[in-house]
Amino acid sequence: MKRFSAWGYLAFTLWGLGMALAVKGWRLGALAVVELAFGLAWSREGLGPLRRWRFWVLLAVAVALGPWLVRRSSLTGADVGLSWLGLSVGLEMAGRALTLSLAFSLGLSSLSLSDLVAVFDRLQLRGLGFALGVAMNLLSSLQEMARVTFETIRLRGGLRRPVVAMRLFLITLVSNTLRYGDQVVHAASVRAFEPQRGRRMRVSLQRADLWLVAALAVSSVACWLFFA
């Protein structure tokens, strides 16, 4: 399903964010259609937010609030009434939220950990890529450690004194994190590994990325020239 390299997906995210902030009115709907088409074709996992009911509730609230936020052009002339201007404001709010969220999730959810590390390598931020790799690999261990620590304190009746329990929990958590850190450093040093040296991960620009960037540039110019 992945058609582009990390650069292509990052370019799409930046383009989507820029367009969502720049365009207004019905063009937001057109942008949402473009993003949906991109997602269906090349980034299905990025459509995840659309499967969550909370996301739709947020959009519905934005649309529903519109007529009450803008009351001046009320059709009924009453203080609180339905106004078309308000409804259009609500729709625009919902459209902007939808396009921003999609731009963000379509691009970034297609990037794997190794893609991000490679991007950092390319940007001369090797230490950050290594730190991200360590963080990602230790995330589940730290979660498990936090769970075990909490359960131990709970089973020993520590929750009867919440402040002391919290202090014990945090001290154990931070101590064990530092211990993990020592282990990581030790493991790296016995393998003669240095984050600033060693094999660089590469993420190469593909022909498809160039076509994508060209298409995005053409659509931006067309939008600016013909629909401004």
Contacts of 91 (CB under 8 A, 6+ apart): 63, 66
Site for another protein in 189-228 (CB under 8 A): none
Long-range residue pairs from 217-220, CB within 8 A, at least 24 positions apart, any chain: 219/34, 220/15, 220/18, 220/19
Answer yes or no whether residue 187 interacts with another protein by CB under 8 A. Answer: no
> According to CB under 8 A, which one of 37, 69, 164, 217 is a site residue for another protein?
69
> According to CB under 8 A, which one of 14, 18, 21, 200 is a site residue for another protein?
21
Contacts of 200 (CB under 8 A, 6+ apart): 121, 126
- Residue 218 CB, nearest distance to another protein (Å)? 26
Part of the chain binding another protein (CB under 8 A), chosen from 153-161, 165-173, 199-207, 208-216: 165-173
Name the residue nearer to another protein (CB basis): 96 or 216: 96
Task: Please give the torsion angle defined by the CA atoms of residues 207, 213, 215 and 221, in that order, rounded to the nearest 10 degrees.
Answer: -150
> According to CB under 8 A, which one of 10, 31, 100, 118 is a site residue for another protein?
100
Q: What is the DSSP letter of 198?
A: S
**Sign for the pseudo-dihedral over CA of 212, 223, 49, 51:** negative
Residues that bind another protein (CB under 8 A): 21, 46, 48-49, 52, 54, 57-58, 61-62, 69, 89, 92-94, 96-97, 100-101, 104-105, 108-109, 111, 113, 116, 127-128, 130-136, 138-139, 142-143, 146, 167, 170-171, 173-175, 177-178, 180-181, 184
